[in-house]
Amino acid sequence: MEESCLFYICDFQEIPGTFTGVKKGGGGLKRHRLGVCYNFGIYIYMLKDFLLLFVLLQLFSALEQLRFDEKVRVVVFKSEVKGIFCAGADLKERAQMDDAEVGHFVKRLRNLMDEIAALPVPTIAAIDGYALGGGLEMALACDLRVAASSAKMGLIETTRGLLPGAGGTQRLPRCVGVGLAKELIFTGRQIDGQEAFSMGLVNHAVPQNEEGDAAYQRALTLAKEILPQAPIAVKMGKLAINRGIEVDIASGMAIEGMCYAQNIPTRDRQEGMAAFKEKRPPRFIGK
């Protein structure tokens, strides 16, 4: 496969032990080439509680690099920890913060989810286990979600005397509707992957396998369906949808028109038309 069809796999890996440097899985970003993929790992000390302050800073930096990497066409978020996608913020760390620090932390967390949502390429959350609180908010910030049928997810903040503060109150109703979103947030209920699929929270629900990565495997299949398509057209399609749902239909149609106009002069559009005429697969280059 050509280098233009690379995709990122963002691995959230939790390793027990003390941070002593990247070589021992501690505290840093680890990126290496694996065939046609970039593998990109964040290693975390605290089991289950992923969204620590230093992790946010690292992920902000990582997202900034992703945004401007022309080779990236799809981003897949997963966890290396069997049975967990992301269990949200570390409440022990939160308990050590004063009110002002909590407010600042949650604002950063909210900004992080916005940065994920603003990535120009499609993003997929592979939910093979628990996605709770901020973990589900992270999945909601992605374009697409794939879950194992046994995965558990929920905005459980009200059971802790909190409320969703990283986009959950806004993205969940846009995903499943206002009534269901209110019910899930008011009750703090956890649902499994099959329930999530039935209400439209995830795009696909798959039976879990022995390796515990069925959702990840399905997410990769989905990513590979996206990879051959024209990158600029896909980006413009995402932009038109994201901007359009925030406005009335007339304004949305205008946004679609502007996005379409940006795609007209691209070499990929010309290639697509030529390939159709010549009855051959197109070779898109992202230009």
The active-site residue out of 87, 89, 131, 223 is: 89
Query: Catalytic site residue 135?
Result: no
| Number of Cβ within a 10 Å radius of residue 282 | 18
CA–CA separation, 215 and 33 (whole Å): 23
Query: Catalytic site residue 2?
Result: no
The active-site residue out of 137, 147, 166, 167 is: 137
Strands 37-44 and 29-34, how do they pair?
antiparallel
Query: Catalytic site residue 257?
Result: no
Query: Catalytic site residue 64?
Result: no
The active-site residue out of 157, 193, 214, 240 is: 157
Strands 152-154 and 130-132, how do they pair?
parallel
The active-site residue out of 129, 134, 154, 168 is: 134
Residues acting as catalytic residues: 89, 134, 137, 157
